[in-house]
């Protein structure tokens, strides 16, 4: 429970205090990838999705498969909301914990490499 509240507070702070700089180094690690699969984090306070990217590129040209936590708020750039089938490009904070699925008392964490910041843009969905 404490982890969920901490995560919710972190997410809220990212949006309440705003982005002071557009510089990538201030916002986290650059990432890019094909958004394949989305699951809502039903046990996490607030609106967060757990999203699988395959391939996923984080500060590297080597493709991997992995997941990122994505707050459900408009992104800074078109097409403004991540949807499965879109290619996303932006910054992510390397905070892995935070997504819990299920229903109380059976809430379980899903593994993620980071938290997507609003500094993200997407392609129009055209896949799947």
By the criterion CB under 8 A, which residues form the site for another protein?
Answer: 32, 34, 36-40, 42, 47, 49, 52, 54-55, 57, 61, 63-67, 72, 79-85, 87, 89, 101-103, 106, 108-111, 123-128
| Smallest distance, another protein to C-beta of residue 4, A | 13
| Smallest distance, another protein to C-beta of residue 112, A | 10
| Smallest distance, another protein to C-beta of residue 55, A | 5
| Terminal Cα distance for the chain, rounded | 36
Query: What number of other Cβ atoms are within 10 A of residue 90's Cβ?
Result: 22
Q: Is 2 exposed, middle or buried (0-12, 13-18, 19+ CB in 10 A)?
A: exposed
Closer of 28 and 113 to another protein (Cβ): 113
Closer of 26 and 59 to another protein (Cβ): 59
Closer of 20 and 78 to another protein (Cβ): 78
Q: Measuring CA to CA, which residue among 76, 74, 64, 78 is closest to residue 114?
A: 64
Query: What residues are paired with 39 via a beta bridge?
Result: 50
The 3-class secondary structure across 25-56, one letter per residue, is HHHCEEEEEEEEEEEECCCCCCCEEEEEEEEE
| Smallest distance, another protein to C-beta of residue 127, A | 6
Closer of 26 and 111 to another protein (Cβ): 111
């Amino acid at each position: 429970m404490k982890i969920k509240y901490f995560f919710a507070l972190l997410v809220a702070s990212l949006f309440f205090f705003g982005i002071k700089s557009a510089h990538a180094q201030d916002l986290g690690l650059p990432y890019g990838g094909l958004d394949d699969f989305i699951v809502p984090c039903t046990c996490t306070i607030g609106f967060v999705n757990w999203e699988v990217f395959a391939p996923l590129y984080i500060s590297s040209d080597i493709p991997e498969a992995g997941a990122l936590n994505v707050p459900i708020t408009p992104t800074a750039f078109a097409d403004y909301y991540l949807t499965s089938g879109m290619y996303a490009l932006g910054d992510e904070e390397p905070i892995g914990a935070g997504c819990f699925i299920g229903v109380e008392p059976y809430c379980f964490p899903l593994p993620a490499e980071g938290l997507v910041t609003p500094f993200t843009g997407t392609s129009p969905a055209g896949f799947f």
